[in-house]
Amino acid sequence: MTGKEAHYMYKAVMDEHLSGNGPFTKQCQHFFEDRYGFKKCLLTTSGTDALEMCAMLCDLKQGEEVIIPSYTFVSTALAFLREGAKVVFADSMKRNPNIDVELLESLITPRTKVIVPVHYAGVACDMDAIMDIANRHNLLVVEDAAQAIDSYYTSHTTHQTLPLGSIGHLAAFSFHETKNITAGGEGGLLVVNDERFIRRAEIIWEKGTNRAEFFRGAVNKYGWVDMGSSFLPAEINAAFLWAQLENLDEIQSKRKQLWDTYFNHLKPFADKGCFQLPDLPEYASNNAHMFYLVLPDLEKRTTLIKFLKEHDIQSVFHYLSLHSSAYYEDKHDGRQLPECERYADTLMRLPMFYDLETEEVEKVCGVIKEFVANRE
């Protein structure tokens, strides 16, 4: 919380517009469109919902294929699976958990329709390479930018710096409480960059009706015209989000300061080979969504998490591979995804949130230093 969240929620209540698409929703959507140049923004009740809208907009036929990294949250895959698509899981890079573009082209078949890059930890995927492959094969690109608010990609070819979420045809952000900014616990954003999808996105958002066109005066009554669902958040959530957006720069600068403190204190141990630190390719900016370590093996990660816990520090590992999950294992084509498995076994996240203090980060680093010293 940065100060005005409860105030704006109270205002939403007193102004008596509580259902979706009210003044706070519109204000938030315009903020994103203005600040990041996104063509059309629609707030959703979660990042998962925004991904589900993306999947619906891709208009997949049964069995068409969608390429998704295996090292991601369940929702990335589930959104497309529910539309009848076949999910083809891709491996991560050696240098960071993002999708390995070197392997991407070998996964494309005549049935491939969509590529879903996930900007893990808010760090950009290699979007020039991904957009180039997508253009050559006539594929859609949906950015899972759930962790990537206020993060950027610099193109190798045009040298332009572009906000993540503005590059693919569609993108999804999350405002869950674990992300950099939150809409009061749960929330998300659909971004439509390709104008062909705007009209249908508004219809899907409003339960399959052309209500948006009716309110603009484009039609004189509204009705059921397509598929859809109820994807709009309540105004109370948009009001909470608005308070966070007013302080976005402050939130981001605090997070980056914490991130840098971790990095500077832990770099010497990474240089000695104790663990790998977050990797920022030359084309990626840092939105300080997460600070993670990659340990040499599972046993070392388990003991470090335990050691931190003994010092009252909560650290957690992250995704389990989706391709070998209980739900998907027998649907997967059997390919090994070694980098994904490595991150599943060895990546761990250190505390990172707006209220955290620099001294606390230093304390965490001190405990890690002690752990390393004990094992030398």
Ligand X SMILES: *Cc1c(COP(=O)(O)O)cnc(C)c1O
- Candidates 30-38, 42-50, 332-340, 346-354: pick the segment binding ligand X (CB under 6 A): 42-50
| Sheet with 86-90, side-by-side order of all strands | 40-44, 188-192, 170-174, 140-144, 112-115, 65-69, 86-90
One of 43, 77, 107, 146 touching ligand X (CB under 6 A): 146
Task: Indicate left, alpha or beta for 6 from its phi (over 0: left) and psi (-120 to 50: alpha).
Answer: alpha
Residue 73 binds ligand X, judged by CB under 6 A: yes
SS3 of 244-286: HHHCHHHHHHHHHHHHHHHHHHHHHHHHCCCCECCCCCCCECC
For residue 127, the surrounding DSSP H or E stretch is helix 127-137
Smallest separation (angstroms) from ligand X to the CB of 55 = 12
- Sequence-ordered list of residues with C-beta below 8 angstroms from that of 135, at least 6 positions apart, any chain: none
- Sequence-ordered list of residues with C-beta below 8 angstroms from that of 356, at least 6 positions apart, any chain: 258
| Closer residue to ligand X (CB): 73 or 292 | 73
One of 78, 93, 118, 304 touching ligand X (CB under 6 A): 118
| Closer residue to ligand X (CB): 261 or 339 | 339
Smallest separation (angstroms) from ligand X to the CB of 119 = 8
DSSP state of 229: -
- Candidates 9-17, 45-53, 86-94, 95-103: pick the segment binding ligand X (CB under 6 A): 45-53
Residue 174 binds ligand X, judged by CB under 6 A: yes
Q: Which residue is nearest to ligand X (CB)?
A: 47
Residue 289 binds ligand X, judged by CB under 6 A: no
One of 72, 98, 244, 287 touching ligand X (CB under 6 A): 72
Residue 183 binds ligand X, judged by CB under 6 A: no
Residue 75 binds ligand X, judged by CB under 6 A: yes
Distance CA 318, CA 331 (A): 23
| Closer residue to ligand X (CB): 120 or 371 | 120
Q: What pairing do the DSSP bridges indicate for beta strands 112-115 and 86-90?
A: unpaired
CB of 321 closer than 8 Å to CB of 340: yes
- Sequence-ordered list of residues with C-beta below 8 angstroms from that of 35, at least 6 positions apart, any chain: none
What is the CA angle 154-159-164, rounded to 5?
Answer: 25
One of 40, 113, 176, 323 touching ligand X (CB under 6 A): 176
Smallest separation (angstroms) from ligand X to the CB of 183 = 9
Distance CA 368, CA 108 (A): 43
DSSP codes, 43-70:
EES-HHHHHHHHHHHTT--TT-EEEEES
| Closer residue to ligand X (CB): 48 or 315 | 48
One of 5, 143, 144, 150 touching ligand X (CB under 6 A): 144
Q: What pairing do the DSSP bridges indicate for beta strands 140-144 and 152-154?
A: unpaired
Site string (234-273) toward ligand X, x via CB under 6 A: ----------------------------------------
One of 21, 25, 29, 46 touching ligand X (CB under 6 A): 46
Smallest separation (angstroms) from ligand X to the CB of 47 = 3
Distance of CA 31 to the CA centre of its chain: 19
- Candidates 41-49, 63-71, 271-279, 341-349: pick the segment binding ligand X (CB under 6 A): 41-49
Q: First-to-last CA distance in the chain?
A: 41
Smallest separation (angstroms) from ligand X to the CB of 72 = 5
One of 147, 166, 182, 193 touching ligand X (CB under 6 A): 147
Smallest separation (angstroms) from ligand X to the CB of 290 = 9
Smallest separation (angstroms) from ligand X to the CB of 181 = 12
Residue 48 binds ligand X, judged by CB under 6 A: yes
Q: Which residue, among 211, 199, 206, 214, has the nearest Cα to 230 in the 3D structure?
A: 206
Residue 76 binds ligand X, judged by CB under 6 A: yes
Positions that interact with ligand X (CB under 6 A)? 46-48, 72-73, 75-76, 118, 144, 146-147, 174, 176, 188
